[in-house]
Structure 1
């Protein structure tokens, strides 16, 4: 009985103890669960403020992901995004060894460092060393706070939160993006570019040591302002790296001898107009990849700044370089000096609407080839003419007489080009360009462009002209240019046939080279270029466009405000720059393409009758009211003139006219005489005996001619 009672009491006590244990520990468990729930709630309610590392500078990169330009964030800060994989491993080893040796093992707080710091504080009565981990420093960069006990506790909690949410490389990436390096520099990429002029992928030990220590006191340790402080701090890091075995003694000694950077380098600033264009087109994008070649872009920008010294103080230069097959833009220069307000440097002249001068002539001739109106060997007249009330004149106010279409295009004669356009039709030219995505711009008061179109009487942009010439180089197929891999693959549309483009390329490739550039095929200019120049009315725009098998280049020179630049025209101003640019490009493997099948390669005498001569539809020569008729008074028509023989050379033949409107222009056998147009007489030096046709034109469009026989006098 007693045993049974004892056992009952024992069971009762055990049950009571179990209830007590469950009560006590259950309470603790509930408390822990409540605490965890609160922490999770706080973590969800107060997530880490990651807006700052996401608000990085907008970057514009070249085809090899090299930086062309970056834009500042709020506050004028250069904050370039950085990832662990993009940074030199030596720098990372030095950073962790100097700042947080147990970074890979702790969970945001380093207990050993905390115990050491607390002990030193109690022993010395003041803080002696810190216990901040890189995670804690990252938390402080994300959320700056006063250096108080409350601020430090908040920093620790944020560090734990970061470790809970993110991996080590992500936390380190935030630090590498936000760490301050002096001035307006944030992040290791901005610092490396500013202090060393390079990305942080490859750093010397001395460079790495400086970047390790700069964030500790970025303003006080700036090497350009306080070089001795910066050197002392850098060498301190190097010595510690030697003690920790990160560097050997020789590396430490050599690194300490390396000079400090003495100046602050601004971030790269290349292709600024294209960068602005891409940023405006895609404002929510922070990374813009282009197809540009940074080395070529840098060289051409320097070349343009050098060339602008030969221009007016307000003149500028724009250019494009395009790879023909892919239509990728390799270089883009909107102005020769972005920061020069006198030159309106921030206006993108690649997209400015300007008069093309003669740059559209190849298209008009190409359409004439396709319409079987003309052939390169077709004869065409360059004489004073009026077309439906329009009287064009040549650039030099002279006339070449009868020339081939090849010569007319190579010499950029205006009257033959207008004659061809009159039959091709200016409205048709504008329509064909509009169909392939290259609309012309003209005065809204006129519903359609007229014959002046071919001489620059419409508006185009450099981008549109280059697109057109890339089409010539691609057999007549026109498609938009590509500025970056994000642009869609262009779909081409036929503008001309391959045969017409081959004729154009062959004519323009064999055109005389401007006298102030090297001859194509020489050592310095190793390959021929099919090129065309243009000059707008009043010397406002100078153009040069050219292509070879691989590349097309377009150059514009002028004053952005439209002011004239007398003496500067396409041939003497833009063409030399065009040839210099081609000298910087690779020489094509195939320099001259074979003609397409069916191309008519014959001499003029072998042409079909309808292609031997071009008959232009012109009005009768202009007659001014009350203007005396133009006539040749000497030599008399049909006469035979004997000229003295002076040691095998015939004496000069005087030519005399009356009437007409000066200036007068003289032709003999279709060749212009170099004579003053403001006199009514001229002199011609015959090269032998025979018949000569003498022609004179006046300003009003009147003409007179005569045939005479030249005989050697006794």
Structure 2
């Protein structure tokens, strides 16, 4: 009878236990888990995967994605040893650890060690719950048990790496490593690993930047535990104890900020953006940008773009000398701002002229005063050199010859070539005129670099790209390989500016009207670099010339490249390499089609120049004439405004503002005109 009762009781106990187990399983299965899809910081990386820039999540916290493979294995070992040595053995709740914690508390009269597992800590972090209240602890246990059923151990550990608090707005081991050590957590010293293990236990009171002494004491306890469990040799621990705790937080990477913002705006849903830039080169050029404007006033700004012209990939993009709201307007991305290119479009004009059979580098062209209808361009230095080779005309950046070539080509053909090359442009008044060849059009630095990349690539235009993903567009031929080589050969013959590194480059400088923009763009056998300097608001920079301001920076930028190749490959087989005398007769001299030579010493209105916008002074409109024979008669819109004036400068009375035509007539009846807008 006793035996039967014992068997019955055992069976009943087993049945009740099984029923309890089933109800417990049902209770765990019914647990509603918090969302496991967590917002992480948007990251921008370079071509090699290095972090270029990161953004905080919506609540202002730094929470960067980190997997086990991204973290130093020694940190993981220290973490598990210090926080949860049976992590891979328990099911989310470690009853053995809890029993030990209770026994230690009863024996010592205080809490000596906690019984929470890493899984329970993850449960608390997911729900932002409390640690000391019984209800909160039970909830953590229930969520932890559910997590263990839904996720692998490595997935749970990865959640801890993402959510662990490290003080302030730092969440996750990667954010902490970048902020406290300035590096990724893949390679940590023993002292760094121990500190990252210690901080989350009391993240605010152990913040190294606010409580270095408490952070150090907690770190040292982790190091001692690591020695006890043979994770470190005593000598390693001793050396680690001498390593100072970082006393300040380091800024998160924020390089190429304008390009990073552009990438994010273009694809706001993406959490990662992989750019073609090289972070090492980007840093060097950002430093160069700061150096270039230092000591030159608080408004001078700079922008630079570096590309590999063989692939079309942008390797560095500097939108300003500093990404901040200052007098330089550093938040404005000057690589994409529309600015006047000055003389930097001239190489394209010459390349088109070579292709059209209008000229050859050895062709003779006139550099004398010339008018094209009502347009009377002048050279920048107001000097004229007579008959000169096309090669020298481009190297000296003379205006008269390039306008004559543009007139023969037609300005529409120049604009068409710019569009074919992928350039966006803005025309004043939307009317193409000959002034386009001298910078009378708005273009961006990035597009100008794209144009010069086409010259370097043998005349094939390829859109520049800054994303690693996506298909690459096919190139379009802009000018022939022969014409591109001829232009490059001319530009490569320019000497470096005084004091610049002796890099051999094919380069061109430019200065826009009123010294508002200073440019220098050049290329070698692999890279093309563009430099723009000026003021972001478009106001003049007195005395700023591209050759003197931007060109030295261009050569310094090239000296920071790892690879530098000669800019000129061998000449294409069809290239005509002869002197002027050996050229076919039509190519020996270029004659303007529609231009008319101006008589020697003819008058010219030098202020205000044609097309300018000028302020009306209280005393009237200031005008100035060069050349011609006094006395002079000045007319405004056909009405005499000053007669028999022997001075070359005078003031004209106007009835109001708006567009006016100013005409000067000298003693011999020769005239010149200028149409301007007065405000």
Normalising by the smaller structure, the TM-score range is 0.7 to 0.9
How many angstroms does 1:678 deviate by?
Answer: 8.1
Unaligned runs of 5+ in 1: 1-9, 519-524, 629-656, 663-676, 680-696, 703-714
Pairing partner for 2:36 from 50, 68, 77: 50
Alpha carbons 1:499, 1:596 under 8 Å: kept: yes
Alpha carbons 1:384, 1:701 under 8 Å: kept: no
The match for 1:586 is 562
The match for 2:147 is 162
Tell me the SS of whatever aligns to 1:486.
coil
How many angstroms does 1:590 deviate by?
Answer: 5.1
Alpha carbons 2:368, 2:597 under 8 Å: kept: no
Partner Cα distance (1:156, 1:661) in 2: 102
* 1:116 maps to 2:116: no
How many angstroms does 1:31 deviate by?
Answer: 6.7
What does 1:141-160 align with in structure 2 at a 5 Å threshold? Answer: 141-146=125-130, 147-160=132-145
The match for 2:76 is 92
The match for 1:470 is 453
The match for 1:72 is 56
Partner Cα distance (2:532, 2:57) in 1: 34
Label 1:660 to 1:63 Cα distance change in 2 as closer, same or farther (>3 A).
Answer: farther
How many angstroms does 1:458 deviate by?
Answer: 0.6
Alpha carbons 2:421, 2:451 under 8 Å: kept: no
What does 1:28-427 align with in structure 2 at a 5 Å threshold? Answer: 33=22, 36-40=25-29, 42-43=30-31, 46-51=32-37, 54-123=38-107, 127-146=111-130, 147-427=132-412
Partner Cα distance (2:252, 2:405) in 1: 52
How many angstroms does 1:485 deviate by?
Answer: 1.2
What does 1:440-519 align with in structure 2 at a 5 Å threshold? Answer: 440-443=425-428, 445-446=429-430, 448-518=431-501
Partner Cα distance (2:670, 2:170) in 1: 67
Q: Write out per-residue CA displacement over residues 120-166 of structure 1, whole angstroms, 9 at most, x where no aligned residue.
A: 34555654421011111111111112331010000011111111111
The match for 1:553 is 529
How many angstroms does 1:375 deviate by?
Answer: 0.1
Unaligned runs of 5+ in 2: 605-626, 633-646, 650-667, 674-679
**TM-score between the two structures when normalised by the length of structure 1:** 0.81
Label 1:590 to 1:399 Cα distance change in 2 as closer, same or farther (>3 A).
Answer: closer
Partner Cα distance (2:385, 2:295) in 1: 32
Pairing partner for 2:514 from 538, 556, 571: 538
Partner Cα distance (1:562, 1:658) in 2: 34
Q: How many residues align?
A: 615
Alpha carbons 1:627, 1:660 under 8 Å: kept: no
Tell me the SS of whatever aligns to 2:379.
coil
Tell me the SS of whatever aligns to 1:358.
helix
Alpha carbons 2:524, 2:566 under 8 Å: kept: no
How many angstroms does 1:354 deviate by?
Answer: 0.7
Q: Write out per-residue CA displacement over residues 214-273 of structure 1, whole angstroms, 9 at most, x where no aligned residue.
A: 111122112222222122111111112112211111111111111221221011111000
Partner Cα distance (2:113, 2:470) in 1: 54
The match for 1:682 is none
Partner Cα distance (2:470, 2:211) in 1: 47
How many angstroms does 1:440 deviate by?
Answer: 2.1
Pairing partner for 1:433 from 409, 414, 418: 418
Alpha carbons 1:558, 1:565 under 8 Å: kept: yes
The match for 1:670 is none
The match for 2:629 is 659
Alpha carbons 2:516, 2:540 under 8 Å: kept: yes
The match for 2:552 is 576
Partner Cα distance (1:327, 1:223) in 2: 45
Partner Cα distance (1:514, 1:28) in 2: 90
Alpha carbons 1:377, 1:612 under 8 Å: kept: yes
How many angstroms does 1:48 deviate by?
Answer: 3.3
Alpha carbons 2:336, 2:445 under 8 Å: kept: yes
Select between 75-84 and 454-463 the one with higher mean Cα deviation.
Answer: 75-84
RMSD, aligned α-carbons? 2.9
Partner Cα distance (1:619, 1:476) in 2: 29
Alpha carbons 2:603, 2:670 under 8 Å: kept: no
Q: Write out per-residue CA displacement over residues 388-412 of structure 1, whole angstroms, 9 at most, x where no aligned residue.
A: 2111111111111111110010010
How many angstroms does 1:177 deviate by?
Answer: 1.1
The match for 2:615 is none
